[in-house]
């Protein structure tokens, strides 16, 4: 490797020159390395500083967006009604931080129900359910979605949703708790055989008067 040529004249008094005169013999190789590679080292340091600055800015922006979302949610909930509130919440749901989106969507769904727009409410509950799919809050949103679908006269869609929920449950008690809703939705959708099957399963699983009632309902609908 070619060596850097020695200086032919006295060095200018610079910071690095002063530093060379002060360091010990043991530290001289490190200083030489720093001097020889000062440009790439300064680039790396600059990139690190930029990365740290970017992280700080991102955290500040995230915090600021969260505060703005909470303010907008409170303002819409407290000062608006009807279609105006629904419109404001829809805009907020499209732009709110993810951790607040479930709350915004469920508030939007509730407001849409109050405004007489169950189809829009069902869509909002569906979006909320997908944010927490497979977990309790997601299940709550799906059940609410089924309820507003029934209210909108879409019993077939509600039944499909409830059957999918029931099929995906591994806990037997949870499945039994859901079967009355499946049966009600099936009756409203005109699917008596599906309702009778749900009632019959409840009749077999439940003791006493509850079991007797569900077996009687199954028999009314033509079930066994």
- Digit-coded pLDDT (tens) for 2-23: 444 444 444 444 544 554 554 4
What phi and psi, each to the nearest 5 degrees, are found at residue 54?
-65, -40
What global pTM score does this model have?
0.65
Alpha-carbon span 129 to 138, nearest angstrom = 4
- What's the rounded mean pLDDT across residues 147-176? 91
pLDDT tens figures, 76-110: 777 778 889 889 888 888 887 777 788 889 889 98
- Say yes or no to pLDDT of 26 above 60: no
| 114-140 mean pLDDT | 91
Q: Which residues contact 26 (CB under 8 A, 6 or more apart)?
A: none
Question: Percent helix, strand, coil in the chain (nearest 5)?
Answer: 80, 0, 20
Residue ranges covered by each domain of the chain: 53-153, 172-224
Residue 91 C-alpha from the chain's centroid: 17
Tell me which residue of 128, 137, 132, 136 sits closest to 110, measured CA to CA: 128
Architecture (CATH level 2) of domain 53-153:
Alpha Horseshoe (1.25)
Q: How far apart are CA 21 and CA 217, in angstroms?
A: 99
DSSP string, 105-158: HHHHHHHHHHTT-HHHHHHHHHHHHHHTTTSHHHHHHHHHHHHHHHHTT-HHHH
The whole-number pLDDT of residue 103 equals: 86
């Amino acid at each position: 490797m070619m060596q850097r040529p020695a200086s032919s004249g006295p060095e200018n008094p610079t910071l690095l020159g002063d530093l060379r005169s002060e360091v010990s013999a043991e530290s001289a190789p490190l200083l030489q390395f720093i001097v020889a590679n000062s440009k790439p080292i300064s680039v790396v340091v600059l990139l690190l500083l930029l990365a740290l600055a970017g992280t700080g800015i991102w955290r500040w922006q995230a915090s600021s967006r969260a505060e703005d979302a909470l303010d907008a949610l409170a303002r819409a909930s407290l000062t608006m009604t009807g279609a105006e509130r629904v419109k404001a919440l829809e805009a907020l749901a499209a732009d709110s931080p993810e951790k607040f989106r479930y709350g915004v969507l469920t508030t939007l769904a509730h407001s849409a129900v109050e405004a007489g727009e169950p189809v829009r409410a069902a869509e909002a509950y569906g979006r909320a359910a997908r944010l927490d799919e497979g977990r309790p809050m997601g299940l709550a949103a799906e059940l609410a979605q089924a309820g507003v679908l029934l209210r909108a006269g879409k019993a077939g869609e509600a039944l499909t949703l409830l059957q999918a929920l029931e099929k995906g449950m591994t806990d037997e008690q949870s499945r039994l708790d859901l079967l009355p809703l499946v049966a009600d939705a099936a009756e409203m959708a005109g699917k008596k055989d599906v309702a009778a099957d749900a009632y019959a399963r409840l009749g077999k699983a439940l003791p006493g008067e509850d079991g007797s009632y569900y077996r009687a309902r199954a028999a009314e609908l033509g079930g066994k």
